Amino acid sequence: MRYAALYQYSNGQTSDAISVHDLAGRICAFHPDVGAYNFVPVELDPEVSLGHLKYERDRDSPYEGPFRVANIRYDKTLNRCWTRFVCCKELMHVFDSAEERVDDRNKFLKLMKEFESIPMKADISPMFASELSAEWMAVIVLCPKRLRDVLRPQWLDKTLSNYDVALRLKIPEVTIKSLMDDYYDTALAELLEK
Amino acid sequence: MSNELDRAANALFPSTGNSQVGNVKFFRGRRREITAEQMAEQLNRADAQIRAGECKPNTNIDGDLTA
């Protein structure tokens, strides 16, 4: 399954707020490398991290062959909008390419150092770049074009505030500025090729 | 290597080469300046809570989306 297929599913729904569980279920049904998912609230330091993905083989699986589970942990103090956004962003990493995946020790250590140093664009690894792409993937799948086309004119003429849009979509208010930016169309076009 | 980073790397990717992990990614927190050690500690912390049975999956993070 490609990201484009998940986006088309989201864009084909009729509701304002897209269910993250529905997206995860869709991925499990159609992505050959994802057998199951879990969203687990844990105690984290939200100053450092709001959540993470640990995508791993299920050793207890009764199925033959690899059965991988997307285990997504999120800070249990997050409100619903943030929980949905953090979980959705981490879920988007099931679409990571082979070079974007952190699947060995050296890649893990490199990514962790990049969180610390935040390198310049030309120097970032594919693993770190995918952290940024996944945020856009989450924003767009939670507000596909059919919804944005309705909301944006009202946001531009100030009929709707950032808060109003966030409330409709059930996503964090801080994402709305990006969502309404012209770059949305560029990001969408690029991600549909992914 | 630092303690937390070393512990996380060893848990994810043991030197035996028998890793079960296919990907690990993070959502940054509110503070811009963080260390690799602090980020690794978040993973270790979550693993410990889950191993201890303190956390169960949430089967309805969306809640009522019509509300």
- What pLDDT sits at residue A66? 67
Could you report the predicted ipTM of this complex, rounded to two decimals?
A: 0.94
| Residues A129-158: tens digit of each pLDDT | 999 999 999 999 999 999 999 999 999 999
Query: Chain A partners of B42 at a C-beta cutoff of 8 Å?
Result: 44-45, 48-49, 52
Are A48 and B42 within 8 A, CB to CB? yes
Q: Is B31 on the interface with A (CB under 8 A)?
A: yes
Inter-chain residue contact A20 with B34, CB threshold 8 Å: no
A-chain residues near B11 (CB < 8 A): none
> Per-residue pLDDT for A65 more than 80?
no
User: From the CB of residue A168, how many other CB atoms can be counted at a distance below 10 Å?
Assistant: 16
B48 in contact with A, Cβ within 8 Å: no
Whether residues A57 and B29 touch (CB distance < 8 A) is answered with no
Instruction: State the virtual CA torsion across A120, A92, A144, A132 in degrees, nearest 10.
Output: -10
Q: Label residue A119 by pLDDT band (50, 70, 90).
A: confident
Model confidence at A64, pLDDT cuts 50, 70, 90, reads low
Q: Find the closest chain B residue to A105 by CA distance.
A: B13
pLDDT band at residue A60, thresholds of 50, 70 and 90? Answer: low
Q: Is the dihedral of CA B38, B42, B47, B52 positive or negative?
A: positive
Beta carbons of A188 and A142 less than 8 angstroms apart: no
Q: How far apart (Å, rounded) are the C-alpha atoms in residues B4 and A79? A: 28
Mean pLDDT of A43-54: 98
What average pLDDT does chain A have?
94
Confidence label for A59 from pLDDT (cuts 50, 70 and 90): low
How far apart, in whole angstroms, are the C-alpha atoms of residue A122 and residue A106?
A: 20
pLDDT band at A182 (very low <50, low <70, confident <90, very high): very high
With CA atoms as reference, the chain B residue closest to A48 would be B29
Q: What whole-number percentage of chain A has pLDDT above 70?
A: 96
If DSSP codes are grouped into helix, strand and coil, which group holds residue A35?
coil
Task: Judge: B25–A83 Cβ closer than 8 Å, yes or no.
Answer: no
Q: Please tell me which of the candidates B19, B50, B65 has its beta carbon nearest to residue A19.
A: B65
Q: How confident is the model at residue A46 (pLDDT cuts 50, 70, 90)?
A: very high
Stretch A166-174: mean pLDDT: 97
Task: Tell if the CB–CB gap between B24 and A53 is shorter than 8 Å.
Answer: yes
Q: For residues B19 and A101, is the Cβ–Cβ distance under 8 A?
A: no
